[in-house]
A and B are shown apart, each in its own frame.
Chain A
Amino acid sequence: MSDINTVHPIDTESARFSVKKPEVCFDKQGDLADAERVAIAMKSFTRDFTSATAAYMESCIHCGQCAEACHFYVATRDPKYTPIWKLEPFKQAYKREAGPFAWLYRALNLKHEVTVKQLEQWQELLFDSCTMCGRCTMICPMGIDIAGLVGLARHGMHEAGLVPHELWAVAERAEREGSPLGATPKVLKERIEWLADDYSVEIPLDRDKADVLVTLSSIEIMKYPQSIVAMAKIFNHLGASWTIRSDGFEATNFGMLSGNVQWQRHTSMKIIEAAIACGARTLVLPECGHAYGALRWQGANLYGKPLPFKVLHISEFLAEAVRSNQIKLKKLEKTMTYHDPCQVSRRGGATTAAREVIRALGVELREMESTGDMNWCCGGGGGVVAIHRADDLRHKAFEIKIRQIDDTGAELLTSSCANCRQTFDDGQAHFKWDKTMNSLLETVADQLDTRPSGT
């Protein structure tokens, strides 16, 4: 007998009247007892509480609008990916332990104690399915900075030993070796020698004094080394006094992404100290979104006082150079669309810098439908790209990007974040997509007009 309804064929195999229980997938580090893990997580979460974070914890009206801003929810329509839900155990703990009516909640047991089972279950929500892109804040009628709260919750999860193991291992390696991808000072030196030789470009390493300290992302060093060549071409063309320092070159900060404040501090302090050691007046951050957030907005707070140098993302540095006519670019007769790295644009405030550079390239910029401060995340930020069990979910979210970009019909796809770039490369391979992500920095280096002025 054939189905009479071919659109919705009769399913005779699946279990009836049953609720599909999702598989809870979590990792644990260390051998703490369950109760200890919960206590540590909650203590850590509330330890760094300020009046701003308390205001956020008090304010949610459960309207659910944040779901519509989250690529993981929109791609799956699974309510558990609603951004504010990702904080539920921490909201519960705050109300019970730290809020103004905590005594009432405890006395009447209106909010139960958080259990380790909850935290295990929430590991996926706090790490695998949140890139801390902050798009949800833009829709929240109460203006709650959910991404910032997820960052705080990650501190608690790390201290409790409840981090996805791949992310933990990458962060631990960064702490131990100085790089999450094995880009040790020795590897860096070899790479620079090789690049300088192959591309016939001078790449100053470990100069005692320099006006500009250039930092790199491990992803660039190991996967996109041509970015280093591009940096060198531009800085040399400018005649800048610049250097890369082997004692402080790694700008990616997996300590921050995994939730370990100490590791975050160590990574940031290395580059801060290197900049001070060489007397740099400007520290240039590479094409990396979270590196910008880590140093531009959090670096001084980890240092404990204002930084004695200026911190610029490479796109800001290029925008300044273009604005002041220090560099001229050959026109690129193409159409281009630009993917905003969330931590540089929406959460970093440098949305216009890349566009200034793009204008100087003379391309026709075709903005995506939701762009700039409202851009959809690539899905790989916040350490998500390092968590392989999240690949399927990340790929689903990536389909939003594919649609957005294809709709522009632009010939070139460009961004200014190596982490976005590797997420795009992975998405391109997975979907056999015909678009390749380009680096804004490398495009500028390729289009650099090196003719003497007036010719």
Chain B
Amino acid sequence: MDLLEFARGPALWLSLAILFLGSAWRVIGIFRLKSKADFSEPRSMRLMSGAMGAIIGHMIPRKEFRDTEKIGTFIAYFYHIGLAITVFGFLPHIYFIERLTGISWPALPAPVVYVAVAVTFVAMILILMERLTDGVLRLLSNFDDYFSWFVTFLPLVTGMMVINHPFPAGAAPVPPLEPTLLAIHLLSVELLFIWLPFGKLSHAFLVFISRGVTGATFARKGAAS
């Protein structure tokens, strides 16, 4: 078994298993706890609408907070959207997902993805610099913050190493032209899969829970969230 076979085979399946089982365990860890009955007279019972309102509403800072000194607030849009474009818009990634799930969709033009990669790259460097220099962020930061940044940044770097090499067309798993570089890229993504359930990257799914809980609780009180 060469490195690429390992990355496409056991490493991939193991990392995906850890990703899904670990994430499920983390969510179960939250919902296994009791939820208390609230006997106070509700002002509104539109809890679902409150939850959805908070999930969507907290994507954009309220106007009172727009002159915040944290550049991370603003930069976050760039690397989140940039990563989404890169992961879901790049043709080889769509082939990869198609191989795994059978689902595919039209790709974005490669230059668009390259711009997204560049923007993400710069944005991620900037947020790391802010984390290293801002007093509040330095105080709050721990291993999770830096390692999560690292495992997100690494696939970006290893991916860029593969970009310059032509890739074979089609979803069929034919041998690529640069198997070692591709294997390194895949392994870096698998590292991200493995880490995601344990650290702060799980905000990818926790965001819906915590925002939703607050939205529903505050909607019950008739309060804004």
- Interface of A toward B, CB cutoff 8 Å: 49-56, 58-65, 67-69, 73, 77, 79-80, 82, 84-85, 99-101, 104, 110, 137-145, 296-301, 303-307, 310-311, 345-351, 369-370, 373-374
B39 and A305 form a contact (CB under 8 A): yes
Give the one of A73, A297, A298, A311 with max B CB within 10 A. Answer: A297
A51 and B211 form a contact (CB under 8 A): no
Sample (11) of A-B pairs whose CB atoms are under 8 Å apart: A50-B34, A58-B210, A61-B200, A62-B200, A63-B72, A82-B136, A137-B225, A138-B64, A142-B210, A143-B214, A144-B214
Within 8 A of A (CB), among B16-39: 25-26, 28-39
Nearest chain B CB to A109 CB, angstrom units = 13
Residue on B nearest A49 in the bound complex, by CB: B33
Q: What 1/0 flags go to B191-225 for Cβ under 8 Å of A?
A: 00000001010110011011111110110011111
Nearest chain B CB to A304 CB, angstrom units = 7
Docked CA distance A60–B70 (Å): 16
A297 and B40 form a contact (CB under 8 A): yes
Given contacts A79-B139, A137-B214, A142-B58, contact A59 B73 (CB under 8 A): no
The contact of A310 among B41, B69, B76, B198, by CB within 8 Å, is: B41
The contact of A301 among B26, B36, B64, B222, by CB within 8 Å, is: B36
A51 and B35 form a contact (CB under 8 A): yes
Other A-B pairs, 13, CB within 8 Å; known A82-B136, A307-B39: A59-B209, A59-B210, A61-B203, A62-B137, A62-B140, A65-B72, A67-B136, A68-B69, A100-B29, A137-B225, A142-B206, A300-B39, A347-B221
Given contacts A65-B73, A142-B203, A143-B214, contact A55 B209 (CB under 8 A): yes
A50 and B35 form a contact (CB under 8 A): yes
Give the one of A50, A53, A65 with max B CB within 10 A. Answer: A65
- Which residues of B have CB within 8 Å of A311? 41
Docked CA distance A137–B214 (Å): 9
- Interface of B toward A, CB cutoff 8 Å: 25-26, 28-41, 43, 54, 58-59, 61-62, 64-65, 68-70, 72-73, 76, 134-145, 198, 200, 202-203, 206-207, 209-215, 217-218, 221-225
Nearest chain B CB to A356 CB, angstrom units = 14
Which applies to chain B's interface (DSSP): helix, strand, loop or mixed? helix
The contact of B25 among A52, A100, A137, by CB within 8 Å, is: A100
A301 and B40 form a contact (CB under 8 A): yes
- Which residues of B have CB within 8 Å of A304? 39
The contact of A64 among B29, B33, B39, B70, by CB within 8 Å, is: B70
Q: How many A-B residue pairs have CB under 8 A?
A: 176
B213 and A52 form a contact (CB under 8 A): yes
Given contacts A52-B217, A349-B43, A349-B222, contact A62 B141 (CB under 8 A): yes
B210 and A144 form a contact (CB under 8 A): yes
- Which residues of A have CB within 8 Å of B141? 62
The contact of A348 among B70, B72, B221, by CB within 8 Å, is: B221
- Which residues of A have CB within 8 Å of B200? 60-62
A64 and B134 form a contact (CB under 8 A): yes
A68 and B65 form a contact (CB under 8 A): yes
The contact of A101 among B38, B198, B207, by CB within 8 Å, is: B198
Which 5 pairs of residues, A with B, have the shortest CB-CB distance? Answer: A100-B29, A349-B222, A300-B39, A349-B223, A143-B211
- Which residues of A have CB within 8 Å of B69? 68
B70 and A68 form a contact (CB under 8 A): yes
Docked CA distance A144–B58 (Å): 11
Nearest chain B CB to A107 CB, angstrom units = 13
Docked CA distance A80–B69 (Å): 17
B40 and A298 form a contact (CB under 8 A): yes
- Which residues of A have CB within 8 Å of B140? 62, 64, 82, 84-85
- Which residues of B have CB within 8 Å of A84? 140
Nearest chain B CB to A416 CB, angstrom units = 16
B68 and A370 form a contact (CB under 8 A): no
- Which residues of A have CB within 8 Å of B142? 62
Docked CA distance A84–B139 (Å): 11
Given contacts A59-B210, A296-B40, contact A82 B139 (CB under 8 A): yes
- Which residues of A have CB within 8 Å of B139? 79-80, 82, 85
- Which residues of A have CB within 8 Å of B224? 138, 346, 351, 373
The contact of B41 among A53, A307, A370, by CB within 8 Å, is: A307
Docked CA distance A56–B210 (Å): 6
- Which residues of A have CB within 8 Å of B72? 63-65
Docked CA distance A370–B35 (Å): 34
Docked CA distance A51–B69 (Å): 33
B210 and A55 form a contact (CB under 8 A): yes
A140 and B58 form a contact (CB under 8 A): yes
